[in-house]
Amino acid sequence: MRRPLRIVSTALITAGVVLLADAVLTIVWQEPVSAAYASMQQSRAAGELGELESEFDPGEVGQLGAGAGAGEVARARLLAERFEQTLEKGQPIGRLEIDSIGLSKVLMNGTDTKTLQNGPGRYPQTPLPGFGETTGIAGHRTTYGAPFRKINEIKDGDEIRIELPYAAFTYVVQKHEIVRPSDVQIVYPVGYERVVLTACHPLYSAAQRWAVFAKLTDIDTFAISGEGDWVAP
Protein backbone atom coordinates (compact mmCIF):
# COMPACT_ATOMS: atom_id res chain seq x y z
CA MET A 1 0.00 0.00 0.00
CA ARG A 2 2.89 2.38 0.73
CA ARG A 3 4.18 2.52 -2.83
CA PRO A 4 0.82 3.62 -4.37
CA LEU A 5 0.46 6.26 -1.65
CA ARG A 6 3.94 7.60 -2.40
CA ILE A 7 3.04 7.76 -6.09
CA VAL A 8 -0.14 9.75 -5.39
CA SER A 9 1.71 12.04 -2.98
CA THR A 10 4.41 12.73 -5.56
CA ALA A 11 1.76 13.46 -8.17
CA LEU A 12 -0.05 15.94 -5.92
CA ILE A 13 3.17 17.75 -5.00
CA THR A 14 4.50 17.75 -8.57
CA ALA A 15 1.26 19.17 -9.92
CA GLY A 16 1.51 21.94 -7.34
CA VAL A 17 5.09 22.78 -8.31
CA VAL A 18 4.05 22.92 -11.96
CA LEU A 19 1.20 25.29 -11.13
CA LEU A 20 3.45 27.49 -8.97
CA ALA A 21 6.16 27.80 -11.63
CA ASP A 22 3.61 29.09 -14.09
CA ALA A 23 2.15 31.43 -11.47
CA VAL A 24 5.55 33.08 -10.97
CA LEU A 25 5.80 33.69 -14.69
CA THR A 26 2.35 35.24 -14.58
CA ILE A 27 3.62 38.05 -12.39
CA VAL A 28 6.26 38.88 -14.98
CA TRP A 29 4.56 38.64 -18.37
CA GLN A 30 3.01 35.34 -19.24
CA GLU A 31 -0.70 35.63 -18.48
CA PRO A 32 -1.87 37.04 -21.86
CA VAL A 33 0.47 34.77 -23.83
CA SER A 34 -0.37 31.62 -21.88
CA ALA A 35 -4.10 32.38 -22.06
CA ALA A 36 -3.92 32.59 -25.84
CA TYR A 37 -1.93 29.36 -25.95
CA ALA A 38 -4.43 27.59 -23.70
CA SER A 39 -7.33 28.76 -25.84
CA MET A 40 -5.64 27.38 -28.94
CA GLN A 41 -4.89 24.09 -27.20
CA GLN A 42 -8.45 23.79 -25.92
CA SER A 43 -9.74 24.20 -29.49
CA ARG A 44 -7.37 21.51 -30.67
CA ALA A 45 -8.33 19.23 -27.79
CA ALA A 46 -12.03 19.74 -28.53
CA GLY A 47 -11.45 18.50 -32.06
CA GLU A 48 -9.55 15.48 -30.82
CA LEU A 49 -12.26 14.77 -28.27
CA GLY A 50 -14.88 14.79 -31.00
CA GLU A 51 -12.89 12.17 -32.89
CA LEU A 52 -12.45 10.12 -29.73
CA GLU A 53 -16.18 10.18 -29.05
CA SER A 54 -17.02 9.05 -32.57
CA GLU A 55 -14.38 6.31 -32.56
CA PHE A 56 -15.02 4.89 -29.09
CA ASP A 57 -16.22 1.31 -29.41
CA PRO A 58 -18.22 0.14 -26.40
CA GLY A 59 -18.20 -3.41 -27.68
CA GLU A 60 -20.77 -5.78 -26.24
CA VAL A 61 -21.29 -3.45 -23.27
CA GLY A 62 -22.90 -0.94 -25.61
CA GLN A 63 -25.60 -3.44 -26.49
CA LEU A 64 -26.73 -3.66 -22.88
CA GLY A 65 -29.79 -1.57 -22.17
CA ALA A 66 -29.21 1.50 -20.04
CA GLY A 67 -31.22 1.53 -16.84
CA ALA A 68 -31.52 3.35 -13.56
CA GLY A 69 -30.03 2.39 -10.22
CA ALA A 70 -27.53 -0.41 -9.73
CA GLY A 71 -27.82 -1.55 -13.34
CA GLU A 72 -26.66 1.82 -14.60
CA VAL A 73 -23.79 1.87 -12.12
CA ALA A 74 -22.61 -1.57 -13.24
CA ARG A 75 -22.88 -0.60 -16.89
CA ALA A 76 -20.87 2.58 -16.29
CA ARG A 77 -18.10 0.58 -14.67
CA LEU A 78 -17.87 -1.84 -17.59
CA LEU A 79 -17.73 1.07 -20.03
CA ALA A 80 -15.11 2.85 -17.91
CA GLU A 81 -12.95 -0.27 -17.93
CA ARG A 82 -13.19 -0.45 -21.71
CA PHE A 83 -12.43 3.25 -22.17
CA GLU A 84 -9.47 3.09 -19.78
CA GLN A 85 -7.77 0.61 -22.09
CA THR A 86 -7.64 3.22 -24.86
CA LEU A 87 -6.14 6.07 -22.82
CA GLU A 88 -2.80 7.74 -23.40
CA LYS A 89 -1.02 10.37 -21.35
CA GLY A 90 -1.90 13.93 -22.27
CA GLN A 91 -4.92 13.17 -24.44
CA PRO A 92 -8.36 14.75 -24.02
CA ILE A 93 -10.80 12.42 -22.27
CA GLY A 94 -13.97 14.43 -21.77
CA ARG A 95 -15.47 17.72 -20.73
CA LEU A 96 -15.67 19.33 -17.29
CA GLU A 97 -18.55 21.72 -16.66
CA ILE A 98 -19.37 23.82 -13.58
CA ASP A 99 -22.20 26.18 -14.47
CA SER A 100 -22.02 28.14 -11.22
CA ILE A 101 -18.62 29.58 -12.18
CA GLY A 102 -19.11 29.53 -15.95
CA LEU A 103 -16.60 26.73 -16.51
CA SER A 104 -16.70 24.45 -19.55
CA LYS A 105 -13.34 22.93 -20.46
CA VAL A 106 -12.01 19.89 -22.24
CA LEU A 107 -10.64 17.55 -19.56
CA MET A 108 -7.17 16.13 -20.15
CA ASN A 109 -5.54 12.91 -18.97
CA GLY A 110 -2.59 13.80 -16.75
CA THR A 111 -1.19 16.49 -14.47
CA ASP A 112 2.29 16.98 -15.91
CA THR A 113 3.47 20.41 -17.05
CA LYS A 114 2.49 20.12 -20.69
CA THR A 115 -0.90 18.55 -20.04
CA LEU A 116 -1.99 21.17 -17.49
CA GLN A 117 -1.10 23.88 -19.99
CA ASN A 118 -3.83 22.47 -22.21
CA GLY A 119 -6.59 22.32 -19.59
CA PRO A 120 -7.60 20.77 -16.27
CA GLY A 121 -6.22 17.26 -15.92
CA ARG A 122 -7.14 14.02 -14.20
CA TYR A 123 -4.58 12.63 -11.80
CA PRO A 124 -3.73 9.39 -13.66
CA GLN A 125 -3.20 7.67 -10.31
CA THR A 126 -6.91 8.07 -9.58
CA PRO A 127 -9.64 6.07 -11.34
CA LEU A 128 -11.94 7.35 -14.04
CA PRO A 129 -15.54 8.22 -13.20
CA GLY A 130 -17.58 5.04 -13.15
CA PHE A 131 -15.27 2.97 -10.97
CA GLY A 132 -17.07 3.96 -7.77
CA GLU A 133 -14.06 5.63 -6.17
CA THR A 134 -12.45 9.10 -6.06
CA THR A 135 -11.42 10.88 -9.25
CA GLY A 136 -8.89 13.68 -8.72
CA ILE A 137 -8.63 16.66 -11.09
CA ALA A 138 -6.08 19.50 -10.96
CA GLY A 139 -6.15 22.84 -12.74
CA HIS A 140 -4.42 26.20 -12.94
CA ARG A 141 -5.67 29.20 -10.97
CA THR A 142 -3.33 31.49 -12.90
CA THR A 143 -1.90 31.24 -16.44
CA TYR A 144 -3.03 29.00 -19.29
CA GLY A 145 -6.62 30.17 -19.16
CA ALA A 146 -6.75 29.63 -15.37
CA PRO A 147 -9.65 27.13 -15.49
CA PHE A 148 -9.76 26.89 -11.67
CA ARG A 149 -9.31 30.61 -10.99
CA LYS A 150 -12.75 30.71 -9.34
CA ILE A 151 -12.49 27.39 -7.52
CA ASN A 152 -12.99 29.27 -4.24
CA GLU A 153 -16.33 30.61 -5.54
CA ILE A 154 -17.86 27.16 -5.97
CA LYS A 155 -20.51 26.70 -3.30
CA ASP A 156 -21.81 23.67 -1.44
CA GLY A 157 -24.73 22.27 -3.42
CA ASP A 158 -23.36 23.38 -6.80
CA GLU A 159 -23.27 20.75 -9.53
CA ILE A 160 -20.17 19.50 -11.31
CA ARG A 161 -20.66 17.57 -14.55
CA ILE A 162 -18.07 15.37 -16.24
CA GLU A 163 -18.99 14.07 -19.67
CA LEU A 164 -16.88 11.25 -21.08
CA PRO A 165 -17.31 9.25 -24.30
CA TYR A 166 -19.17 6.52 -22.42
CA ALA A 167 -21.25 8.41 -19.84
CA ALA A 168 -22.08 11.72 -18.17
CA PHE A 169 -21.58 12.04 -14.41
CA THR A 170 -23.22 14.66 -12.19
CA TYR A 171 -21.79 15.47 -8.78
CA VAL A 172 -23.03 17.79 -6.02
CA VAL A 173 -20.47 19.75 -4.01
CA GLN A 174 -20.30 18.72 -0.36
CA LYS A 175 -17.47 20.77 1.08
CA HIS A 176 -14.23 22.70 0.60
CA GLU A 177 -10.93 22.17 2.41
CA ILE A 178 -7.56 23.89 2.41
CA VAL A 179 -4.97 21.13 2.65
CA ARG A 180 -1.24 20.53 2.50
CA PRO A 181 0.34 19.20 -0.73
CA SER A 182 1.20 16.01 1.17
CA ASP A 183 -2.41 15.35 2.24
CA VAL A 184 -2.92 12.49 -0.20
CA GLN A 185 -5.86 11.14 1.77
CA ILE A 186 -8.12 13.60 -0.04
CA VAL A 187 -8.21 11.22 -3.00
CA TYR A 188 -8.64 8.02 -1.00
CA PRO A 189 -11.73 5.86 -1.64
CA VAL A 190 -14.52 6.75 0.80
CA GLY A 191 -17.19 4.15 0.06
CA TYR A 192 -19.00 6.16 -2.61
CA GLU A 193 -18.06 7.80 -5.89
CA ARG A 194 -16.88 11.39 -5.85
CA VAL A 195 -14.67 13.92 -7.60
CA VAL A 196 -12.07 16.12 -5.92
CA LEU A 197 -10.89 19.30 -7.64
CA THR A 198 -7.56 20.77 -6.52
CA ALA A 199 -5.68 23.99 -7.23
CA CYS A 200 -2.84 25.87 -5.58
CA HIS A 201 -3.69 28.21 -2.71
CA PRO A 202 -3.25 31.07 -2.16
CA LEU A 203 -2.87 32.58 -5.62
CA TYR A 204 0.75 32.57 -6.86
CA SER A 205 1.76 30.05 -4.20
CA ALA A 206 2.02 26.28 -3.93
CA ALA A 207 2.07 26.28 -0.13
CA GLN A 208 -1.39 24.75 0.11
CA ARG A 209 -4.19 23.29 -1.99
CA TRP A 210 -7.79 24.42 -2.29
CA ALA A 211 -9.84 21.24 -2.59
CA VAL A 212 -13.49 20.88 -3.57
CA PHE A 213 -15.26 17.60 -2.77
CA ALA A 214 -18.37 16.57 -4.69
CA LYS A 215 -20.45 13.37 -4.42
CA LEU A 216 -21.84 11.53 -7.42
CA THR A 217 -25.62 11.90 -7.71
CA ASP A 218 -26.44 10.80 -11.26
CA ILE A 219 -25.06 8.73 -14.15
CA ASP A 220 -26.29 8.78 -17.73
CA THR A 221 -24.56 6.11 -19.79
CA PHE A 222 -24.60 6.46 -23.53
CA ALA A 223 -26.33 3.92 -25.74
CA ILE A 224 -26.64 2.51 -29.23
CA SER A 225 -29.26 4.31 -31.33
CA GLY A 226 -31.64 2.66 -33.77
CA GLU A 227 -29.18 3.49 -36.53
CA GLY A 228 -26.37 1.75 -34.69
CA ASP A 229 -24.63 4.96 -33.60
CA TRP A 230 -23.14 5.49 -30.16
CA VAL A 231 -25.06 8.46 -28.75
CA ALA A 232 -25.69 10.42 -25.56
CA PRO A 233 -28.89 9.75 -23.60
Q: Where are the domains of the chain?
A: 2-231
What type of residue sits at position 129? P
How many angstroms separate the CA atoms of 184 and 125, rounded? 11
pLDDT at 59: 73
Report helix, strand or coil for 156: coil
Q: Are 65 and 232 in contact (CB under 8 A)?
A: no
Distance of CA 130 to the CA centre of its chain: 13
How many angstroms separate the CA atoms of 46 and 39, rounded? 11
Question: Which residues of the chain register pLDDT less than 70?
Answer: 1-30, 60-70, 223-233
pLDDT at 177: 98
Among residues 147, 96, 141, 98, the alpha carbon closest in space to that of 118 is found at 147
pLDDT at 233: 45
pLDDT at 28: 46
How many angstroms separate the CA atoms of 135 and 69, rounded? 20
pLDDT at 121: 98
Among residues 136, 117, 140, the alpha carbon closest in space to that of 128 is found at 136
pLDDT at 4: 58
Q: Are 141 and 19 in contact (CB under 8 A)?
A: yes
Among residues 200, 16, 21, the alpha carbon closest in space to that of 111 is found at 16
Q: Which fold has domain 2-231?
A: Sortase; Chain: A; (2.40.260)
Q: What is the 3-state secondary structure (H, E, C) of 35-73?
A: HHHHHHHHHHHHHHHHHHHHHCCCHHHHHCCCCCCHHHH
Pure H helices in the chain: 2-25, 31-55, 70-84, 113-118
